Amino acid sequence: MKKLFTQILLLAVLLLTLLEAALLIGATASFENFEESTIGAVQPRYTGEIRNGNTLWQRLLSNLPLVPFGKRKVTLVAVMIENHEDARPNQEGLERALLVEEWLVEGFISRFVAVFDVNSLPERVGPVRSIRPYFLEGLLPWRVILFHAGGSPEALEMAEQSKSMVTINGISGTYYNHFERDAALNPPHDLFIERDQMLEIAGEFKEHRTAWPPFTHGFAKEAPTARSISMNFFNPEHNVRYTFSSASQKYARSNGRVDYQARPENVLILEMPIEEIGEHGRLQIPVRGRGKLLLFRAGNVYEGTWQKGGPNASFSFSNMEGEPLAFSRGQTWMTVLPTLERVEWE
């Protein structure tokens, strides 16, 4: 019986793969008038039948659910990645992340928490930087192995007391020598961690496994078209722009003057007000609660709400009718902003 079930699963995967290939081949003939996008990537313009901003084949590909796999237990590795304009050109590893959480830090510059499946790690990740309490809150209650380089006193205390999260400090503690400094770069934007070192440490915490994906995947309802997204950080060096590609069903990201290799299928933006600006300009962001959100997927925009309870509660994302939002398969890039008024799309 088990062998028969395995064969059925393999057949289903093969059929889905063949269907996707056939749809892609059929659609290629309908592309014409290629044009340059605003960030330099070539974007095809489709001339066939449109359904609310998407072709029929695009909607089908985007909405294919994760059947027959569903959720599975994975070992999650997360890395704090610097996003200062001096570090940005040297960022590595983001394209392999399952999820990127983007939060503001001092000076209203963003910083990333990149979450990976330990079985699909990049060769090297970084530049690695320090943690803040809301970074940790955003990962709970997942059982994560988090690599970082120091942190605020509150964050370091929180990390030490955590029973579900393993935190690996790159500037002190047992594993600091697993990190490396890149001699070609200037500190503090020169600290990296390689895949082999992450695997060695992860091997000591095999019990740290989490059900993935944490979001609902599947069919999306009709929604307004949104092919271009801009986020205003009040500085051309930090402003973010996403451009949707009809061919790949992904979003190309530019941040200041840097174009990213990472191409998320989902762009999620949460409104989370800043409660206070404390010592050294450090922000206090209340992660628990409820607020507004925007989800961009498959060239459309969906309005809704996010909610997170105590430390043992994950984020939940709902549409305006209170139903779970459906995400596309692939990478999700989640940005937290104090107000959605910073976001525009067309």
What pLDDT is recorded for position 70? 64
Q: What does the mean pLDDT of the chain come to?
A: 83
pLDDT, tens digit (0-9, with 9 covering 90-100), for 51-107? 333 444 444 443 443 333 467 889 999 999 999 999 999 999 999 999 999 999 988
Angstrom distances, CA of residue 249 to CA of 167, 182, 196: 35, 35, 32
Quickly state the pLDDT bin for 272 (edges 50, 70, 90).
very high
Closest to 65 in 3D by CA, of 334, 330, 341, 338: 330
The burial of 42, by beta-carbon neighbours within 10 Å (0-12 exposed, 13-18 middle, 19 or more buried), is given as exposed
Q: Where are the domains of the chain?
A: 72-212, 216-345
> Which residue reads 């237990």 in tokens?
73
CATH fold of 72-212: YerB-like fold (3.50.90)
Closest to 261 in 3D by CA, of 40, 27, 33, 24: 40
Q: How far apart are CA 336 and CA 110, in angstroms?
A: 9
Task: Find which of 42-56, 259-273, 311-325 is predicted with most confidence, using mean pLDDT.
Answer: 259-273
Options 2.70.70.10, 3.40.190.10, 2.30.30.280, 3.50.90.10; CATH of 216-345: 3.50.90.10
**Identical fold between 72-212 and 216-345:** yes
